[in-house]
Amino acid sequence: MSNLYHESGHTKQTAYKVPRMERPIIGIVGAGQLALMMFEASLRMDLDIRVLATDADDPALRVVPGSRVGDPRDAAVLLAFASEVDVVTFDHELIDIASVRSLGVAGHAVRPGSAALAVAIDKARQHDTFSRLGIDQPPTVLVRTESELRAAMHRLALPVVVKHATGGYDGRGVYVVDHEQQFDRLVAGGVLGDGEFLVQPKVPIDAEVAVQVVRSIDGEILAYPVVRTIQEDGICTMVQLPAAIPDALARRATEVARLLADHLDVVGVLAVEFFVSGGRLLINEIAMRPHNSGHLTIEATVTSQFENHLRAVAGLPLGSTAAVVGAASMVNIIGSDSSPAPRPDRAPIDAAVHLYGKSHRPGRKLGHVTAVGDSIEDVVARARRAASALEPQGAGT
C-alpha cells in the first residue's frame, strides 16, 4: 500500500487524506451483495478492492482476494483492516461509530466520514436532521420507554408505525401497530427491546420513491433519475424507472437528496427514500452507500451507482448518471419457506440476472433481475417473468 497522499482542498474534508496513487486499495466494510457488485465495478475501473466480511460465507469473500473475516464493530479488527488499505468505505450500517471515528483520528481515510455515518445509522438523528433542514416528514415522536411509547400512540392515534432508531433494515425493527392489544403482545413478547424508537402515524401512501446522488471529495454532486419502489412486508421487491410521479415532486426529491449530501458532507452514494402521500413528498429515511433501489443503474445508466461510489471514495472524477434506456425494472429474488435456491439454468434471456451466491433462507435477498426497454409495462412484465423463473416462490410471482 502506497503512503503517498495529498490533503483535499475541500473545506469540510481537510481531515481526510486523498490517495494520490493511480490504483488506490479500497477497503469495504461488509461483504454482502453490495460489496460484490462494487467488486464487479472495480474490475472495469482497474481498482483494487479488499473486504472485511462478518461471516465466512459472505458472497463477496469468495471472489475478492486478500480479504478478512472479523467483527467490524471491534475497533482492533477495524483498525487492522484499515491499515491494509488506502481508503475505507461501507456496504452496511451495522458498525460501531466510535470505532469508525478512531480510524479518522489515526489518520485513515474513511468515506463517508464518521460524522455523516453517525446520522446514517441512526433514524433519530435522521429525524433531527430533516427537521433542522425543513424537510417534510411524517409527524414523529422519539421515545425510550414503554410508557412513552404508549403515550405517543395515543397522541398520534392508531394505527402507528414504531421503528427502532438503530439496527433495522429490510423491514426488521419496524412494527405497524393497528390496535393497543397488538402493542401489548409486542411488549409481552419482548420484541421491542431497549433503545430509542420513532413513533409515526401510518400515513396513507400513494407511492414510494427513491433517489440516489453521488458526491465527490470536492463536493461535486450528480443525481440519478428518481425511481419508484414497490415494498412488501418492509422489503423492496421491485424498482421501476421512470418513477411516474409529477415532475415537481421528482425535482423536489432530487433537491432534498442534494441538500442532505452537502449538509452531511457525504463522500460516495447517498440514497434517499420518500413517501408520496396526498400529493406531498415525505422523507422516510436515508442510506449512505449503494442501495437496493439503485441496482438497475447497472443496466439503465451510463455509470452504475457501484462504479460511482468507488470513483467518489477513490478521489476519481464522477461518471455520468444519465439514463440510457426509456424504462427499466428491477425485481428482487427473495427466499421463501418453500423455495429452493435460484436456478440460473431456468433464467429467461430477456433480462439481466444477478445472483449473489448466498445461502438460502426465508426473507433473504438472493439476487435480482433487471429488464430494460422503452415501455414500463414491457420491462415490468419481463423482470417479473425472469424472477419467477429463477425463484418460482420468490418475489417475482
229 with 356, same domain?
yes
Round to whole Å and give the CA distance between 7 and 16: 7
110 with 162, same domain?
no
- Percent of the chain scored above 90 by pLDDT? 72
| CATH code, 86 | 3.40.50.20
Whether pLDDT at 12 is above 70? no
pLDDT, tens digit, 9 for 90 and up, residues 352-389: 999 998 887 788 899 999 999 999 999 999 999 999 88
- Percent of the chain scored above 70 by pLDDT? 91
217 with 268, same domain?
yes
Round to whole Å and give the CA distance between 219 and 178: 44
The dihedral sign for the CA sequence 192, 198, 200, 204: negative
Range of the domain at 60: 5-120
42 with 150, same domain?
no
223 with 348, same domain?
yes
> Using 50, 70 and 90 to split pLDDT, how confident is the model at 169?
low
DSSP structural state of residue 233: T
**DSSP secondary structure string for all residues of 328-377:** EEEEEEE--SS--S--GGG--SSSEEEE--PPP-TT-EEEEEEEEES-HH
234 with 261, same domain?
yes
DSSP structural state of residue 8: -
369 with 226, same domain?
yes
pLDDT, tens digit, 9 for 90 and up, residues 263-300: 999 999 999 999 999 999 999 999 999 999 999 999 99
295 with 361, same domain?
yes
362 with 214, same domain?
yes
244 with 102, same domain?
no
327 with 365, same domain?
yes
244 with 342, same domain?
yes
Q: Where are the alpha helices (DSSP H) in 157-246?
A: 180-188
Supply 39's cell numbers: 467488486
132 falls within a domain = no
Q: What pLDDT score does 344 carry?
A: 74
Buried (b) or exposed (e) across 329-353, using 16+ Cβ within 10 A?
Answer: bbbbbbbbeebebbeeeebbebbbb
Average pLDDT over residues 51-74: 93
Average pLDDT over residues 304-322: 97
128 falls within a domain = no
Would you say 177 and 244 are in contact if contact means Cβ atoms under 8 Å apart? no
The number of distinct structural domains making up the chain is 3
41 falls within a domain = yes
